[in-house]
Amino acid sequence: MEKKLKSQKLRKYALIGVACLVVIGLIVGTSITGKDVKEVIDPEGEVSGDIGVIGQTIEEPSEEEQAEDQEDTEKDSKEKKEKTEKKEKKKDKKSEEKKSEEKEEKSEEKVQEQETEKQETQVAPEQKKEDKSSDSSSSKEKKKSEKKKSDSDKKDSKKSEKKSDSDKKDKSKDSDKSKDSKKKDEKKDKKPEPAPEPEPSTITVHIQILCYTLSNDMSQLENEAIRDYIPSNGVILGRTSYTCDKGSGKTVYDALSTVCKNNGVQLDANYKSTYGSIYVEGIGYLYEFDAGPQSGWMYSVNGVFPNYGCSSYELKDGDEIKWLYTCKGIGTDL
């Protein structure tokens, strides 16, 4: 439809344009030829000459096409009208429904107001009587209800106390059970402790015999006969272990004598009453006074020089014993 309308409009505009051109041509022709316009156009109003030919070339739309166009336009207009009418009808229906609902609501509200007014007017005189009776009855009921409440509260308090006691008992039982279970778990988790090792029935000490003060300076030696017995490094006997029974009362001298016998080291020792102990005079053919008037043998235990004889010092497990030969100052050079 739209295409046909556009084509019709274009045709009309074309006809108008052609007519305008014809008129312009007539005016120009008259001006050039000097003839009047009447001479060019015949009395019947038809265009003569070339103008008529031009008019014939323009075709007007046929009647069928015009009829179809009119029908299409009518159909479109009808459809538009129908759509607009439907929309208006819907709007009218909605507005009518709203109005009817509003009217019904208003009527219901009025009826309810009337009924409430009637009820109030009817109840007012009766209500006064009922209020008086209800006040008296309500006071009695309040007292009864208060008594019941107090009784129920007492019962509830007793029940709650009983429950709390039972809960405490249950908790104590649960705690006891949990403690027992924890103890069992701890016993399971704990690895069996190793049995304590039996105390050793023996003790072990270590002993050395050294004369490095003399070997470092052989010029101090006065007895040249023993020069060959003195080791160049000053070690007559290296660190040697000695084991004995615990509580046997063995002494430093016992360890020295046993070690020397076992290792072939010469030992010369005698008991002296002045010291109340055995006195060691020579070890490995090195005697006292061989390196001067202050030379001789001394012993230390764990780095300490005791102030009593070697046969009076009882051994302890792990003791480190050293027999040292001093040349000067009775131990000042050690």
DSSP-assigned beta bridge partners for residue 272: 277
7-25 burial code (b ≥16 CB/10 A, e <16)? eeeeeeeeeeeeeeebeee
- The topology under which CATH files domain 202-326 is Ferric Hydroxamate Uptake Protein; Chain A, domain 1 (2.170.130)
Which of these, 323, 292, 297, lies nearest to 221 by C-alpha position?
292
Q: What is the pLDDT along the chain (334 residues), one digit of tens a residue?
A: 566 666 777 777 888 888 888 888 888 776 666 555 555 455 444 444 444 444 444 445 566 766 776 777 777 778 888 888 888 887 778 778 888 788 887 777 777 777 777 666 655 555 545 555 555 566 666 666 676 666 666 666 666 666 666 666 666 666 666 666 666 666 656 666 677 777 789 999 999 999 999 999 999 999 999 999 999 999 999 999 999 999 999 999 999 999 999 999 999 999 998 888 999 999 999 999 999 999 999 999 999 999 999 999 999 999 999 999 999 988 899 8
For residues 229 and 217, the answer to whether their CB atoms sit within 8 Å is no
3-class SS at 124? helix
Q: Which sequence spans correspond to the domains of the chain? A: 2-84, 202-326
